[in-house]
Every structure is written in structure tokens, then in C-alpha cells.
A and B are shown apart, each in its own frame.
Chain A
Amino acid sequence: MMLAEKQTMDLIYQRPESLSDAITHYCPGCTHGIAHRLVAEVIDEMGLREKTIGVAPVGCSVFAYNYFNTDYVEAAHGRAPAMATGIKRVLPDRTVYTYQGDGDLASIGMAEIMHVAARGENITVIFINNAIYGMTGGQMAPTTLPGMRTTSSPNGRDVELSGYPIRMSEMLATMDGAGYIVRRSLHNPANIRKAKKAIRLAFETQEHGLGFSMVELLSSCPTNWKVTPNEALTFIADHMVPVFPLDDFKVHPAIANLKV
């Protein structure tokens, strides 16, 4: 007689409740999906889903509102921080965050992002920096690396003609209104873990009322960089990190001491 084997199954991985089950339109190898998931996991873990309002940008993540299972609005190009300000000011007890790319945040939305930080608006910004305009098909972004080829810098970004990449985190960290400003990368699992912790601390900054918080995430765009997904991840490590160092640029003391 055989003993019946006791069988158990542990659930070790599932879709966070804060993500919808929509299939995303993102290209293979794009790191937007990872960033979405990290944000959703953090919202779930902090129990914020039913009080969160996200603000989507214009750019590849224009449809972010379809992919998150939270309330969402869709802003005009670059204006997400202004829209988030309007929401947060009339509903100060809600969790409000924007999700913006580099063209949206660092080019057309430069004024809005600087002033939202200067005012110390108690919102969180997830800043996806992939050094290119993705949605419009691979034009030069304010964060495009010197020498990098894009459809609008076909011979490589010539700094004599089009200047230098902008380091947003470093600039925003000078703002007294900012509580948490860090840069992370999504090019390998170790960095993805660090990115998630940073996203958690950014939302904690907001929940503790410590001012403006932003996590800049170095991300890949294999389609417009015209490389394979793996090559894209290597490109981040080899070429983007030297220009955009991964660091904590400003961390409120209350957050530095927080155990999560």
C-alpha cells in the first residue's frame, strides 16, 4: 500500500492586482513592462491601489492607463506634473504619480517638472530614460548620448549642433522641495531589484508627506536603437550608465532610515 503523497503548490509569481490583464503594445525587449510591473507591485505592497491616481504621458507609455488597474488620467505632452498637481491639490490624501519618458519630461515638459519639484508637490514621478523618442520612431531626445545615431541625428548626436544630454536627477536634486531623487537601471535582475526598492521609497516619501519624489530608470529601446534586446541591455550598462551614473542624489533623512 502506497502512502498518498501530500502535494502542495505554492503560488510564487502572479500578476499584481494593480496591473490590468491587457496585453501591452510595447516592443519585444522594451523595459517599460518591467517598470510597469515594479510600480504595480509597490502599489500593491503598500496597499495604495484604491487611492492611487496615475498620470500617463505622451510617448510610448501613452496607454499606461490601460495597463494599470488603478484610476488613471492621460495628460498632454509634458504636462503630467501639472495635471498631477491639480489632482493632488484637490485630493491631498490620494497617492498621485506620473509616468513619463525622457522627451515628455526632459524636453517639452521641462518647465513643469522643474516647478513641480520646486513647489515640493507631494507626488511621485517615474521617469523612463531610454535616450530616444520611441513613439514617433526614434528621434533624438534631450537625453540622447553624444554620437548616438537617431533619425534626427543621422550622423550621431553632434554636441556642437545639438548640445549635450540633460541629467535630470542631478538637476532636480538641487531643489529644496525634493525629498527623494535617485537614478536606477533596468538592465539586469540585480539592478531591477534596486529599482523596485527605489520606487518603494519614492512612494513612501509621498505617503510620509516629505515632498517631491522621482525615480529615474535607465531603460532600453531595442527597436529604435536598432539592436537586439540583449544588446540593448548591454548598451545601457556600457554606454548609458557612464553618462547617467546610478546614484542617490537626494534622500530625505526620514527615508534613508526607513526599513522596507
Chain B
Amino acid sequence: MAKQLLKGNEAFAEAAIRAGCEGFFGYPITPSTEFLEHMAKRMPELGRAFVQAESEVAAINMVYGAVCTGKRAMTASSSPGISLMMEGISYIAGTEVPAVIVNVMRGGPGLGNIAPSQGDYYQMVKGGGHGDYFPIVLAPASVQEAIDQIGLAFDLADKYRSVVHVIVDGNIGQMMEPAELPPMRPLPKDVPEWAVNGAKGRAARSLSSIYIDPKDEEVTNIRLVRRWMEIEKNEVRYTEYFLDDAEIAVIGFGTAGRVASSAINQAREEGIKVGLFRPITLAPFPKKQIEDLSKHVKSILVVEMNSGMMLDDIQSIVQGRVPVEFFGRMGGVTPFPDEILDEIRRVNTNEAVINGQVRAEWLDRLEKLIEEGK
């Protein structure tokens, strides 16, 4: 199939359909609404389920019901809507049923704004809902990657009976890029052995996240942790760019990562030995790879569209082996390549140091940038 110029949100939605999504349940919210609109048009055409729910709370519980039958189902929303869904996501995780949730992130906290952000890193990567569970989190950086990862998300969800979040910021949701959609996958005929679909010719089954005896809950928790360790072993994904001879490693995911790649191109023209490490799975996080990286570079620059959330994870992996510097924009501001280029130059000329002041020093520089009108 030839490449088409596709809008992020619409392309993800179509990719989900082609991956066999049989139920979509959502609620309008900018900047993810085109996802819902595409589903509203396409799902009924295909005889599949679409409901515009009364709230995100209802939407995620409709997903919960649909996936309990063994069918592939999903929702898509943006930050405040995802907060409302966290209850249902925890239930889905506790029931060990597969579900795919897309978060097109926007500026916050609170109502915030509708501009692109990565401020939901903690919420998405660390769980977000109550209780002991571990979602898989994919962070594509282009329309094509998002298309590919929606299919991957459904496969991983089924394989591990896990919640899979696909998180992008508003840039990728709203952007058009040439991309290729996968062919339509045939719908599976087999029903998973755990699914609840009417006890025809078999013993009745139930699906629940309740384990009233703490000992039973603990056994479930152990199963979830073991499964997570399996996921950590098998499913780490990332890309590298110009890292072979790099002395400075920039680490960024999603839009922040791809904006950094523009800055890296320019820095390379200036002769600076800098490369990019872009995690694709934020959970499981590429811990080993970043640990190895920290043994080969002189310094690391973390770039995010938040206050340095992934920075904390990277610092705990690098453990002071090399200086870890940080640059981020917040509140829905997307950094321009020149800002990151300046940061690369700074790290390259002033030998980066470890002084425990990374965040404070970044804030000082950021406030100066803002004063300059950037």
C-alpha cells in the first residue's frame, strides 16, 4: 500500500480498526477528538461497536465490559479524560484483561490547555490508578510509528493480558505525515479461554478484580509482578541516532526526542559529537541500555516536555556515573530545535558537573529564555 498523507489521530484510529479493534468507547476532548470522530464513522460501517459515552468514566467501563468478552476494544482521550479513566484502568489491570488506551497529552495540571505536553509521564508510566499494577507504555514519535505501535499495543495487551497505554502529545495527534497503513487483519475466530461470553456448553466463568482475602490478592500481585518481569525481559524498545561515537547522549521520547534530533543534526554540522537515545517503551524502560550508554558517554542531556519526570528515572539508572543535565518546556510549550541546540552547545563547552542542582539550574535557564521571549 502506498504512503498517504495522514493526520495522526485519524491514522491511529484506522490502525486500531485494522488491528482488529471491535469496540471503541470514548468522549470528546481536544486534542484527541479526531480519533473518536474517525471511529464514529468507520466502526458502524464495519458492523463494529462504537459508543460516545456520557463521560470518560463510563467510556473506560464500557471498554472494561467489552474486553471481558475477549474482543479487542479501546478508548482514546487526552490528559484530563485519562485522569477520569484511572479507576477503570485499575479495575482492568486487576481483572487481568487486555485493553489499549491512547492518551494524546495536553498541558496541565487541571484544565490546563490543549497544547502538546508530556506532563502525564508519571501518571502513565508509574501506573496512575490505585493498587499494584504495571501498564505497558509505548511512546511513538511519528505518525508511522504510532500506526505501527497501535497494532503492537493490541498484540502486547493480548499476550500479557495487560493494560497498554500509547501516549503521544498533541503534536503527533494533530500532525500530518506520509505514512502507510497496515492491511486489515481478519478478526480472530477463537475466544480466549478466560473470556466471559455466555456459558454455552461449559462451566460458568466470572471475571473480577476482587480478592477479598489479602492472601489471595497477594498471590495475584505476585502473578502480576512476575508477568511484569517477563515483559521487562522481552519488550524493551528504543531507537538510537548518531550514538556510535557520541560523547554527549541526548535522551528524549516522543516529540521531544524528534525535536532533539533536529538539534543534533545541526550540532553535528558544528562538529559536536552528540547522539540521540529515544525510548519507545517508557514502560518497560530501557534501563540496561541507558546504563550501558552512561558508561560510554561523557554526559547525558535529558529533554522532555515536562518538569523532568523521565529525568528522575534516568538519574536513578545512571547513578552519578556521568553528569545528567536537563532541558524541558512545560505547560503545553513545544521546544524549538534551537533551544535544544543551545543546550547541547552548553553541555559541550562547559563541562557538565554533578552537583545535585540539575532541576534548579534548568529552571533558572528556562526563566531567562522566557524573559528573552522564547
Contacts and interface: CB of A to CB of B under 8 A. Distances in A.
Interface in A85-103: 85-91, 94-95
B330 interface: no
A65 interface: yes
A83 B61 contact: yes
Interface in B57-82: 57-59, 61-69, 71, 73
A89 B22 CA distance: 9
Classify the secondary structure of B's interface with A: mixed
A73 B206 contact: yes
B49 interface: yes
Contacts, number: 138
B58 to A, nearest CB: 4
B196 interface: yes
B226 interface: no
B49 A89 contact: yes
Chain A: number of interface residues, binned into ranges = 35 or more
Given A83-B65, A91-B197, A62 B206 contact: no
Contacts of B87: 76
Contacts of A56: 208
Given A111-B58, A112-B54, A87 B69 contact: yes
A75 B58 CA distance: 11
Given A76-B91, A83-B61, A71 B199 contact: yes
A83 B64 contact: yes
Contacts of B197: 53, 71, 91, 94
Interface string A67-81: 011111111100100
B55 interface: yes
A50 interface: yes
Contacts of A84: 65
A193 interface: no
A72 B200 contact: no
A50 B65 contact: no
Contacts of A74: 95, 206-210
Interface string A34-65: 00000000000000011111011000001101
Contacts of A95: 198
Contact of B73 (A49, A62, A86): A86
Nearest to B64: A83
Given A53-B196, A90-B66, A85 B51 contact: yes
Interface residues of B, number: 39
Contacts of B25: 85-86
Contacts of A94: 197-198
B61 A76 contact: yes
B51 A65 contact: no
A88 B210 CA distance: 23
A85 B62 CA distance: 6
A85 B198 contact: no
Given A52-B198, A85-B62, A90 B57 contact: no
A66 B210 CA distance: 12
Nearest to B55: A111
B323 interface: no
A112 B206 contact: no
A115 B58 contact: yes
B198 A86 contact: no
Given A50-B198, A83-B68, A85-B53, 19 more contacts: A52-B198, A69-B199, A70-B199, A71-B205, A74-B207, A82-B57, A82-B62, A85-B51, A85-B62, A86-B49, A86-B63, A86-B67, A86-B73, A87-B68, A89-B49, A90-B23, A111-B55, A111-B57, A115-B54
12 contacts: A52-B199, A53-B198, A73-B68, A76-B87, A82-B58, A82-B59, A84-B65, A86-B61, A87-B68, A89-B62, A91-B71, A114-B54
Interface of B: 22-23, 25, 49, 51, 53-55, 57-59, 61-69, 71, 73, 87-88, 91, 95, 196-201, 204-210
Ranked nearest first, the 4 interchain pairs of A and B with the lowest CB-CB distance are A86-B65, A74-B208, A83-B65, A82-B61
